[in-house]
Amino acid sequence: MRVEQANVLIFDSGVGGLSVYQEICTLLPQVNYFYLFDNEAYPYGELAQEILLGRVIHLVQEAVSRWQIDLVVIACNTASTIVLPQLRECLDIPIVGVVPAIKPAALVAQKGIALIATPATITRPYTQDLIEQFLPNVSIELLGSTRLVDIAEEKLRGLPVNLNELKTILTPIMGCVDVAVLGCTHFPLLKQEIADALSETVTLIDSGSAIARRVVSLLSPIIKSAQLGERVIHSTMPPWEADALNRQLNLLGFKLPCALFKTQI
Ligand code: DGL
């Protein structure tokens, strides 16, 4: 790996990957971050598997060569649970994926575990394998919701979160679990609201900090620069409520505006 100041690509369908970006750049502020979101095909949780695979492989390969990326983070559980093997075959740089934190949940749960994710993630064989491996004798509640993903997109654009709506969505898991896995990168953006809607006795677990530690372990031996890195953000189509979104992105340190990632797909 070449490197003075590493270039990291963070990829998601929407703003969810920003929860992962925040964890990583707290530990590694000296890295250049290129955030790319495929809002043209959002929500990934309802996209046919073959289309998702084709888009992610094409967009990530294109971004890697355009920006001379040193490490990729697929900051999306829905994509990571199917795309990682193929992506690793196409690229010879480290690819870090985000998958539901079933293993750490298994270590702390006393009563029961819920996995809150997209409708696609809860049905993926990869997720089922994680469950069989780490929770062989424990039942798990699976809750797939695209509306919850939309609510996180709305919150990042400054729209209020309706706690009653959140409670209705979470009703199926209320009272029967003491640990909830946030298996979609959009959900840590709603962590406080989800905690309020469930109960303070429910522990919420996500993969963000583990991913950040993994990125640090891969990059810190080779980063020389101590200077603050650049942060740029691109989307595959113009985002809705762009002004409100840009204001938040500015607070997160991104160079504005969010630009269009033009490519033939
Ligand atoms: N943020 C994504 C995830 O972690 C997916 C959201 C979506 O596009 O459905 O699964």
pLDDT higher than 50, residue 112: yes
Has 186 been labeled as part of a binding site? yes
pLDDT higher than 80, residue 1: no
Domain coverage including residue 148: 102-206
111/154 same-domain check: yes
Confidence (pTM): 0.96
Rounded to whole angstroms, the Cα distance separating 146 from 102 reads 20
Q: What percent of the chain has pLDDT over 90?
A: 89
Q: What are the contacts of 52-58 at 24+ separation with CB within 8 A?
A: 52/78, 52/79, 52/82, 52/83, 53/82, 53/83, 53/86, 55/265, 56/11, 56/83, 56/87, 57/83, 57/86, 57/87, 57/90, 58/263, 58/265
Question: Any idea what the Cα angle at residue 137 is, between residues 131 and 138, rounded to 5°?
Answer: 70
CB of 13 within 6 A of ligand 1: the answer is yes
Classify residue 78: in a domain, yes or no.
yes
CB of 80 within 6 A of ligand 1: the answer is no
What residues are annotated to the active site? 76, 184
Ligand 1 centroid distance, CA of 118 (Å)? 6
Ligand 1 centroid distance, CA of 82 (Å)? 13
Residue-wise pLDDT tens digits, 149-204? 999 999 999 999 999 999 999 999 999 899 999 999 999 999 999 999 998 789 99
Task: Report pLDDT for 227.
Answer: 86
179/227 same-domain check: no
CATH code of residue 125? 3.40.50.1860
Report DSSP letters for 152-179, one per residue: HHHHHTTPPP-HHHHHHHHGGGTTT-SE
Task: Report pLDDT for 261.
Answer: 97
Provide the domain count of the chain: 2
Contact 63, 11 (CB under 8 A): yes
Rounded to whole angstroms, the Cα distance separating 210 from 228 reads 22
Which of 206, 232, 251 is a domain's end point? 206
SS3 content of the chain, % helix, strand, coil (to 5): 45, 20, 35
